[in-house]
Amino acid sequence: MRIDLHCHSTASDGTLTPAELVAAGARAGLDVMAITDHDTTGGWVAAAAARPAGLRLVRGAELSCRWYDADPPIALHLLAYLFDPAEPRLAADLTRMRTDREQRAERIVELLRADGVPISWPEVSGYAAGGSVGRPHIAQALIRAGLVATTNEAFASQWLGARYFVPKSDLDVFEAVRAVRAAGGVPVFAHPRATRRGRVVPDRLIEELAAAGLFGLEADHEDHSPAEREEVRALADRLGLVVTGSSDFHGTHKTVRLGAFRTAPEAYEKIVAAATGVPVLG
């Protein structure tokens, strides 16, 4: 079984529509794929409607979280699988995070424009096309303006990585774990050792999150070195958490391919068995 539990569509910062995403998943030989857009379930209906026979669809999201006990607080991502999208608290959290994303992206665009960069909020907002707006959409405008050649370049420190970085007001990670569980979902810490993305949290926090209801850790991910993958596996073993692997596919915003990293069937079955929010489709 080929299982990829972390994929983005145009409902956030991926470049394939939800319908194109599930079709691409089937073409890539996946048996199971998860749609996990940033802070939204906006792609669920279209993905479900277009799901090819033979492809099982796990509906999920990737929540923008923060560990507020660190100084300064550390941003992290929590994958949430098979939760009830109508559960009021989690739904309100998602709405709030998307609104904040818009205000923050607009602010970044203002900072760039103040320095004479010829991009605009309507342009960036148009790239997001109603989905969760993110820095990759601003990167797209920078590419269009000829200032950088790739999304990755736009994340360099002189652009969106630092000089024009504005933080989001993310969800407290403990609150997020509790909210996902309360909605019948299963929380998995995305790329917990991705040092190349910035500061990572200490094992102590992951222990506390495990005690609070965290279910798994994503070990196999392109942003983890082989040594980091092994560290994550060892930590998961010690804490009794499941281990996942996934592509974190973003279409042409990244180079990674669907199914490039995968989750073992046993881990997938445990996630499904622990979820009570919505069923796997297919």
List residues binding ligand AMP (CB under 6 A): 13, 38, 134-136, 151-152, 155, 250, 253-254
Task: Tell me which H or E stretch contains 217.
Answer: strand 216-220
Binding to Zn ion, residues 53-72 (CB under 5 A): 62
Instruction: Say whether residue 4 binds Zn ion (CB under 5 A).
Output: no
- Which of residues 133 and 267 has its CB atom nearest to ligand AMP in the complex? 133
- Which of residues 4 and 62 has its CB atom nearest to Zn ion in the complex? 62
Q: How many residues bind Fe ion (CB under 5 A)?
A: 3
CA distance 65 to 97: 10
Window 131-170: contact mask with Zn ion (x via CB under 5 A)? ----------------------------------------
CA distance 160 to 149: 14
CA distance 85 to 173: 18
CA distance 247 to 84: 24
Reading the block at residue 88, the tokens are 């009021």
Q: Residue 135 touches which of Fe ion, Zn ion, ligand AMP, none (CB < 5 to 8 A by kind)?
A: ligand AMP
Q: At closest approach, how far in Å is the CB of 8 from Zn ion? A: 6
The count of other CB atoms within 10 Å of the CB of residue 221 is 23
From 122-130, 153-161, 244-252, 253-261, give the range in contact with Zn ion by CB under 5 A: 244-252
249: phi then psi, degrees, rounded to nearest 5:
-60, 135
Q: How many residues bind Zn ion (CB under 5 A)?
A: 2
CA distance 40 to 240: 29
- Which of residues 135 and 229 has its CB atom nearest to ligand AMP in the complex? 135
Candidates 248, 267, 268, 271: give the one binding Zn ion (CB under 5 A): 248
Parallel/antiparallel/unpaired status of strands 56-67 and 171-172: parallel
CA distance 251 to 268: 23
Helices (H), 64-202: 88-114, 121-128, 135-144, 151-154, 173-182
Window 12-51: contact mask with Fe ion (x via CB under 5 A)? -x--------------------------------------
Q: Which residues bind Fe ion (CB under 5 A)?
A: 13, 77, 190
